[in-house]
Amino acid sequence: MARKKVVAGNWKMNLTPSKAESFIGEIKDKINTDAVEVVLCVPYVNLATAQNALKGTKIHVGAQNMHYADEGAYTGEISGKMLAEMKVPYVIIGHSERREYFKESDTEVNIKSLKALKNNLIPIICIGETSKQRNSGRTFDVVRKQLSVALDDMTADDVKKVIIAYEPIWAIGTGVTATKEQAEEVCAAIRKQIEEKLGKSVADSTRILYGGSVTPDNAKELFNMPNIDGGLVGGASLKTSFEQVVRFE
């Protein structure tokens, strides 16, 4: 079966609840489609607002992070169990900004992803290299290691459910998008690695996204590459022209 494309917006730490409500009001009819799976990953305080604003549409809501514990003395954190009860189906795990500013390790990304799955959430697991790593020819090694740890202890069924987002750090928020060939070769390597671990049918089912300076101008060529199943979109998901990214075909 063909993999359904996914276009996920990552709002990062943007839009207050009132702004979120009015922005969703502006774009929801334009991005409401069956052709791709559309997800808006919003700040925690906007989850309920977004759910209400999106009622009656096919657009999904996602969170941007979660803790690996179900509950406990972790001031300021949110658990997968909480997201599950709120019926938030997706959660970004291990975004490079979390890895860089909040020191999240590959192991933490793995534990969080396993916990997300246990709560029936779909983790959108982010991996990607820095410009220094790319320039020193280490892209494939870095991504391989990140993916290998992230998928540790996952079953074939788990890996069919997860979404992998290849986000080269040098392309995030910089306006320097990976070329479609650069993005494709890494996404193809990611799929190959899944095949080596769990077989071809799992590898053929897992959605692998590209993220990093996706715009209405480059979405089509990127998302139509054979191993790229859509995108994780930052800045461009905060504009009404996000519609054109969603309708990239």
What's the closest the beta carbon of residue 126 comes to ligand 13P, in angstroms? 7
Which one of residues 235, 242, 245, 246 is an interface residue with ligand 13P (CB under 6 A)?
235
Q: Tell me whether residue 24 or residue 171 sits nearer to ligand 13P (CB atom).
A: 171
- Which token pair is 216? 């209405």
Provide the β-strand partners of residue 124. 92, 163
User: Interface with ligand 13P includes 173 (CB under 6 A)?
Assistant: yes
Query: What is the Cα–Cα distance from 118 to 130, expressed in whole angstroms?
Result: 31
User: Interface with ligand 13P includes 234 (CB under 6 A)?
Assistant: yes
Residue type, 109: V
From 60, 95, 129, 184, active-site residue: 95
Question: Does the annotation count 167 as an active-site position?
Answer: yes
Question: Does the annotation count 100 as an active-site position?
Answer: no
Residue type, 170: W
User: Interface with ligand 13P includes 230 (CB under 6 A)?
Assistant: no
Contact map string, positions 124 to 163, toward ligand 13P, x by CB under 6 A: ----------------------------------------
Listed in sequence order, the residues at least 6 apart from 66 whose beta carbon sits closer than 8 Å to its beta carbon are 77, 78, 79, 80, 82, 83, 91, 93, 112, 115, 116, 121
Query: What is the Cα–Cα distance from 161 to 207, expressed in whole angstroms?
Result: 8
- Which token pair is 126? 């982010």
Catalytic residues: 95, 167
Contact residues: ligand 13P, CB under 6 A:
10, 95, 167, 172-173, 211-214, 232-236
